[in-house]
Structure 1
Amino acid sequence: MKPKHHKPNRLIDEKSPYLLQHAYNPVDWYPWNDEAFAKAKRENKPIFLSIGYSSCHWCHVMEEESFADEQVAEVLNQDFVPIKVDREERPDIDHFYMMVCQAMTGQGGWPLTILLTPEQKPFFAGTYLPKEDRYGRTGLLALLKRVTIMWNEESHRAIDLGEEVTDRVQTFLQISQQGEISKKVLDQAYQEFVEQYDEIFGGFGEAPKFPRPHDLLFLLRYARANPKSKAKEMVERTLRMMRRGGIFDQIGFGFARYSVDRHWLVPHFEKMLYDQAMLALAYTEAYQLTQDPYFRHVVEEIFVYVQRELTDPKGGFYSAEDADSEGIEGKFYVWTPQEVKEVLGEEDGALFCKAFDIRESSNFEEYGSIPNLLRSRTSEMAKQGQISQQELADRLEKSREKLFKCREKRVHPHKDDKILTSWNGLMIAAFAYAGRAFQLPEYIDVAKRAAQFIHTRLTQSDGRLWVRYRDGDAKVNGFIDDYAFMNWGFIELYQATLDEEYLNWAFELTIKMKELFWDEHDGGFFFSGSDGELLLTRHKEHYDGAIPSGNAVAGYNLLRLASLTRDQSIEKMADQQLKAFARAIQDSLTSHSFFLLAIQFAFANRMEIVIDGEKDHSDVQEATAILQQAYLPEAVILFREQSSRESLIPSLGQLPTRKSQQTLAVYICENYACQQPITSLNELKSLISQGRS
């Protein structure tokens, strides 16, 4: 709600939900634009840069404590030029100044607070700052007052420091990461994950604990190639413990961003689209490897949440849901035993509380308990109640549905309804992959609608992608993540539909990506396009964070596109892409897990599987289903239909013509040589069941 006594500031004209949350602050905010920088230079004032996002809990706290405060606003408005940036709209600004913060302080996070000279050179970096000094932490007011005195009396100190920091970051970014990639890094990375693995609760490292689904994807594929390793066991336990924990919304589904503890119990309650996408992919691949229906069920729950809460009626996907409601983190999600029993009655309420750890003593501050299954012993409960485990599960599910309907009446967390191209690419990949793995056309249709949304609303006439869409407005030229993640989505859609339109979109996007981002000298892709705003220096992202790096995904895409099209120029670019970051990968293997996926694919006995036949024939449909459901991460699937127009894939024309009496021919090609075609479904099933493709 906007305060009635404040007039809106410049942010009122923005579309970003995060910027609009600050539109009625007394702070005279500017968005990131030339007007703000011109004012700073004209009035010789330092810039106060604040970067965050709409579902960030500590961003809300700082806004409430400081940016809505008249005293803080007076200092900022008088002595600084305050600029507010949504990190999800402008990841280029966020990435660069986050590197600055990490270089200056050794850590980072949001809200990100940076002080700049009028020339945009940083001389102070930090994250959340309380209004007043607190527990040894410098307060914002004290900092601003000290900086004002220094700027007025010795501005050269800040300017010199800004130059020094900028030079240091630029030097770091210019260090070559080139080298040769060896297959041995896969075994080395596996050993490092073993050392980090939490044997008791799953996951890696200590608290706070993040899902890290791209790590799990690497380990799943490692497990397939090395069945005697611990990789499968580590992934299975991690995925089960996360689903049982409070990090998973046991009432309404979907995963929170991370757990503040080792046990996966207490989440940071915000839910991000990218986490749902990447985790859906990890659970889908786990299902393919293990054939355990538990993992498929979790994917279905994730998609129930995404389609209910994060899907635009026109097909795109929203970005996030907040951690807070009514100003309290997690209030929407927690329950007391009394609240549960009021909905379910005494008997069913007591049963549900016992199963889901909802206690009088509370497991989360004073507000209530986070439903979780970490301590649940349903088999013992079933015996005590003299019912089967299935009967108990059905009873608990009916109770969950009642509690969900009741919870819907609560004040919901804020929803960030902007549609980001990059994150949509991840979710398109997830729906398309799960659709083919589970043979569920409805999931593929969801992916197709979202892809069409991006193609029509977030793609410019020259093929340039926009970053975000909201309220009819598309804005900001796309970055490498937008191109790489959307390409991943298009490739997965081709694998799910075998419709060459999606492969063509991926190919065209690759050409545009090379034109805008490729480093012709050292290889690799710059984060910003050649037509973009230059932020003191042009850098390349290669470390994975909560989402994989755009460069890693681009490398994986290039390798798969090269297999699909046999285009030598793409194969060469894929090779250069891995070599461009070889040293960086070797120096920090577990920080580059998605690059490890690309390396796995590069060194695998890669296969192209070509299905030849009429698409509507039952034999062809069954063969396609057999191949799509199998766990074949080292393979790509192509389709050739004799009656169709000339293929976009030249290599398909080089295969022998299927005999007229044959309804089906499946060609398995390895190392650019194709075996005799398989014409029998039984033979194909046998081959797949032996772990081959």
Structure 2
Amino acid sequence: MYNGTLTGIRTNKLVDEKSPYLLQHAYNPVNWYPWNEEAFEKARLEDKPIFLSIGYSTCHWCHVMAHESFEDEEVAKLMNDTFISIKVDREERPDIDNIYMTVCQMLTGSGGWPLTVIMTPDKKPFFAGTYIPKTSKYGRIGMIELTNKTKELWSQEKDRLFDSAEHISQRVKEATKNSPGDLLGKEVIDLCFKQLSNSYDSKNGGFGNSPKFPTPHNLLFLMNYYRINKEQKALDIVVKTLDSMSMGGIYDHIGYGFHRYSTDEKWLLPHFEKMLYDQAMLTLAYTECYNITKNTYFKEIAESILEYCNRVLLSKEGAFYSAEDADSEGEEGKFYVWSIKELRDILDDQELELLSRVYNLKESGNFKDEATRRFTGYNILHLKEKLSEVSEDKYDDNLNSTLDKIRKTLFKKREQRVHPHMDDKILTDWNGLIIGALSRAAAIFNREDLAKAASKCADFFIGSIEDNGSLFHRYCKGQWNISGNVDDYSFMIFGLIELYEATFNDRYLKKAIDLMNEQIKNFWDDEGGFYFTSSNEEEVLTRIKEIYDGAIPSGNSISFTNLFRLSRITGETKYEGYAEKLQKAFSDIIEESPIAYTQMVSGILLSLSKSEEIVVVGDINSDEFKNYISNIRSVCTPASVIIAKNANESNPMIHEIADYTRYQDRVDGKTTIYICRNFTCNEPVTSLSEAISMIGKI
């Protein structure tokens, strides 16, 4: 046992870690180890199985299992006698989580966190599950029974456990192999749209029943499908879903930002944690919907999400923290809900009446406890109709200003509550997404402040690469650690490409290309696709290649689009070659159920669509140039790319990046536009209206 102490309190070996999740367990009576060779060597020397627990700091059921079992002296004693226990933060080590989650889904048909795995000292699993109560109930084995049973089997039937572990490990290796197929065409794209249409909830928006996840990449695919195929139903699904989510309780109407998911089909009762990646992906979805519809409502929601990120998640370095917990003071959602009694002490009668009517508040509460099915006495603010559609009453003349005043009053009061725990580690992959979201919003909304925020965040990571020589996965408490995985590379490349298109700073495009080349060198499989981990890193059971687009898109899906876009920008056909081979590597599995791979299918849709390389040459800091870019953005296809060349530089970096721009100059000293298809360009034009009329026509 680790006998470290901190102010006289017993600690375990997690006390020296940086991860907020591991530190939450540093004072457990369980003798936790971080994932390291010391733990596995100790298991071999003491002839004990490994108990592996994987979770994250804002995970509600991880907290529940910790309180019930890992903080319990009886359970801890049994665990310490039976196991060498290892804690892993899934957000720090997604490589470990991916492997053992595959095991759990293979053995049980489902997965989730906390993830519980029991395995041999050589990392081969023979048991997997998720949340486990202290004692057996509801048909679920308890920690006490599981530990005693494992101890008995390890003592009496170890050979059988090892045989089972070997068999499971081989199944995992087989399951993670893929056989290359053919390039996919329009059929798989149309099937993806059909599957999304069939699972669409036309009453409440979103897909399927409860629980409901935002899955913004589904919506981004549908918007690309609409723009390219002019299929109105695709846009209608997006608009209804984005409307419904922003009116529901999954959206924080007081402090902004979106909660993780809705436990019901109406988007009312959320799982209250807030994740950085959800904010980023939803910003992209609302921004793109505004770009298509020009409905300012979607712009306002996107800007409110970014306001939340900048106010709550922004670190002093300019990068963004990972998440806010669902729980505060030991209760899920306590920070966010309101009783009528409390509101009476804050608002006057007229304000309370208006708030209750507009946001559907009730004396008995407006949601039920899931266990008792009784109303809780608390309320979650939500709308049944947009504020612009609220029926006439005496507040009509200044309804929005009155509600905004009430919101600010409630926000100020809520700030006095105990806040949910903040997971303050900075993850490269999720920050890549928020850089992309800030950049896209900056470009579409003409918000220079958002571009500056994206640049500051990107510069933090670029500086790290220059200092450390490569991309790391996690920064926490002043320390970089854990080598970058394919998500870190692909998401950061995505963010940098978006940042280039928002600022036309060639430095960001050059860094995206450098990272892409490094990703290919260290992650590429010659049979096609990218492994999740670098060839230089530890192999846990096997190296896997992720393609499933779950809560966030997979690194391979994002990489496909990155490769396509970089090939269009640079004229380097090698990137398109990698993209084709990547698609072939997964084509058979995508073809079976494209709805599970919507980000990848969206990339395929773009690759098959009419695209143009639009080069604008001029003074990139001038108002005229910015006006040209803004108008071109509004009409070009989603598969097209815009490249800017600064005529004030004698040898701009873009010449090195995209050689075909070398001889494209201004005509008569005017801002000049070259519209190209497959790098064959038409005659340059200086008239914006003429250029607009030509885009999409050549």
- Structure 1 length-normalised TM: 0.96
Instruction: Choose from 646, 656, 665 the match for 1:648.
Output: 656
Query: Could you say which residue in structure 2 is the equivalent of 1:509?
Result: 515
1:102–1:108 Cα contact (<8 Å) kept = yes
Identity among equivalent pairs (%): 46
- Compared with structure 1, are the counterparts of its residues 460 and 179 closer, same or farther at alpha carbon in structure 2 (3 Å cutoff)? farther
1:610–1:638 Cα contact (<8 Å) kept = yes
- Compared with structure 1, are the counterparts of its residues 93 and 665 closer, same or farther at alpha carbon in structure 2 (3 Å cutoff)? same
Q: Secondary structure of 1:343's match?
A: coil
How far 1:21 moved relative to its partner?
0.2
Instruction: Choose from 58, 61, 72 the match for 2:75.
Output: 72
Q: Which residue identity lines up with residue 565 of structure 1 in the other structure?
A: T
Q: Secondary structure of 2:178's match?
A: coil
Query: Could you say which residue in structure 2 is the equivalent of 1:610?
Result: 615
Query: Could you say which residue in structure 1 is the equivalent of 2:378?
Result: 369
1:437–1:630 Cα contact (<8 Å) kept = no
- Compared with structure 1, are the counterparts of its residues 224 and 15 closer, same or farther at alpha carbon in structure 2 (3 Å cutoff)? same
Mean Cα deviation higher: 373-382 or 90-99: 373-382
How far 1:460 moved relative to its partner?
5.2
Query: Could you say which residue in structure 1 is the equivalent of 2:427?
Result: 420
How far 1:316 moved relative to its partner?
0.6
Query: Could you say which residue in structure 2 is the equivalent of 1:437?
Result: 444
CA RMSD, aligned part only?
1.8
- Compared with structure 1, are the counterparts of its residues 236 and 55 closer, same or farther at alpha carbon in structure 2 (3 Å cutoff)? same
How far 1:685 moved relative to its partner?
4.8
1:500–1:648 Cα contact (<8 Å) kept = no
1 CA distance for matches of 2:479 and 2:13? 18
Q: Residues 537-585 of structure 1: CA distance to partner in whole angstroms, max 9, x if unpaired?
A: 1110000110100000011000000000001211211111111111111
Q: Which residue identity lines up with residue 546 of structure 1 in the other structure?
A: A
How far 1:340 moved relative to its partner?
1.7
Instruction: Choose from 530, 551, 557 the match for 2:535.
Output: 530
Instruction: Choose from 603, 617, 624 the match for 1:619.
Output: 624
1 CA distance for matches of 2:206 and 2:166? 41
2 CA distance for matches of 1:83 and 1:628? 51
1:457–1:469 Cα contact (<8 Å) kept = no
Instruction: Choose from 573, 578, 583 the match for 1:578.
Output: 583
1:611–1:666 Cα contact (<8 Å) kept = yes
Query: Could you say which residue in structure 1 is the equivalent of 2:595?
Result: 590
Query: Could you say which residue in structure 2 is the equivalent of 1:141?
Result: 144
How far 1:458 moved relative to its partner?
5.6
How far 1:384 moved relative to its partner?
3.0
Matches within 5 A, 1:165-176: 165-176=168-179
1:8–1:24 Cα contact (<8 Å) kept = yes
- Compared with structure 1, are the counterparts of its residues 410 and 237 closer, same or farther at alpha carbon in structure 2 (3 Å cutoff)? same
Query: Could you say which residue in structure 2 is the equivalent of 1:477?
Result: 483
1 CA distance for matches of 2:38 and 2:638? 50
Q: Does 1:398 align with 2:401?
A: no
Q: Which residue identity lines up with residue 372 of structure 1 in the other structure?
A: L
Instruction: Choose from 504, 521, 546 the match for 1:541.
Output: 546
Matches within 5 A, 1:239-318: 239-318=242-321
1:177–1:584 Cα contact (<8 Å) kept = no
Matches within 5 A, 1:27-426: 27-364=30-367, 365=369, 367-376=376-385, 382-385=391-394, 387-388=396-397, 391-426=398-433
1 CA distance for matches of 2:377 and 2:506? 52
Mean Cα deviation higher: 164-173 or 409-418: 164-173
How far 1:375 moved relative to its partner?
2.9
Q: Residues 154-176 of structure 1: CA distance to partner in whole angstroms, max 9, x if unpaired?
A: 11111111011001111111231
Q: Residues 502-551 of structure 1: CA distance to partner in whole angstroms, max 9, x if unpaired?
A: 1100110011101110012x110000000000101111000011010000
Structure 1 runs not aligned, ≥5 long? none
Query: Could you say which residue in structure 1 is the equivalent of 2:372?
Result: none
Q: Residues 625-666 of structure 1: CA distance to partner in whole angstroms, max 9, x if unpaired?
A: 22245563111110123331242234344545433x241111
How far 1:185 moved relative to its partner?
1.1
Instruction: Choose from 493, 496, 500 the match for 2:502.
Output: 496
Q: Secondary structure of 1:50's match?
A: strand
How far 1:324 moved relative to its partner?
0.1
- Compared with structure 1, are the counterparts of its residues 244 and 369 closer, same or farther at alpha carbon in structure 2 (3 Å cutoff)? farther
1:116–1:162 Cα contact (<8 Å) kept = yes
Count of matched residue pairs:
685
- Compared with structure 1, are the counterparts of its residues 588 and 567 closer, same or farther at alpha carbon in structure 2 (3 Å cutoff)? same
Q: Secondary structure of 1:634's match?
A: coil
Q: Which residue identity lines up with residue 198 of structure 1 in the other structure?
A: D
How far 1:383 moved relative to its partner?
1.7
How far 1:620 moved relative to its partner?
1.9
1:253–1:301 Cα contact (<8 Å) kept = yes
- Compared with structure 1, are the counterparts of its residues 524 and 459 closer, same or farther at alpha carbon in structure 2 (3 Å cutoff)? farther
- Compared with structure 1, are the counterparts of its residues 539 and 69 closer, same or farther at alpha carbon in structure 2 (3 Å cutoff)? same
Mean Cα deviation higher: 224-233 or 25-34: 224-233
Mean Cα deviation higher: 16-25 or 578-587: 578-587
1:608–1:670 Cα contact (<8 Å) kept = yes
2 CA distance for matches of 1:51 and 1:8? 19
Q: Secondary structure of 1:344's match?
A: coil
2:339–2:379 Cα contact (<8 Å) kept = no
- Compared with structure 1, are the counterparts of its residues 267 and 569 closer, same or farther at alpha carbon in structure 2 (3 Å cutoff)? same
Mean Cα deviation higher: 81-90 or 626-635: 626-635
Q: Secondary structure of 2:100's match?
A: helix
Q: Which residue identity lines up with residue 519 of structure 2 in the other structure?
A: M
Mean Cα deviation higher: 666-675 or 511-520: 666-675
1 CA distance for matches of 2:630 and 2:402? 35
- Compared with structure 1, are the counterparts of its residues 585 and 370 closer, same or farther at alpha carbon in structure 2 (3 Å cutoff)? farther
Query: Could you say which residue in structure 2 is the equivalent of 1:554?
Result: 559
1 CA distance for matches of 2:149 and 2:382? 50
2:245–2:251 Cα contact (<8 Å) kept = yes
2 CA distance for matches of 1:601 and 1:540? 23
Q: Secondary structure of 2:337's match?
A: coil
Mean Cα deviation higher: 345-354 or 198-207: 345-354
Q: Which residue identity lines up with residue 29 of structure 2 in the other structure?
A: P
How far 1:4 moved relative to its partner?
8.0
Q: Residues 141-166 of structure 1: CA distance to partner in whole angstroms, max 9, x if unpaired?
A: 11110111111111111111101100
- Structure 2 length-normalised TM: 0.95
Query: Could you say which residue in structure 2 is the equivalent of 1:678?
Result: 685
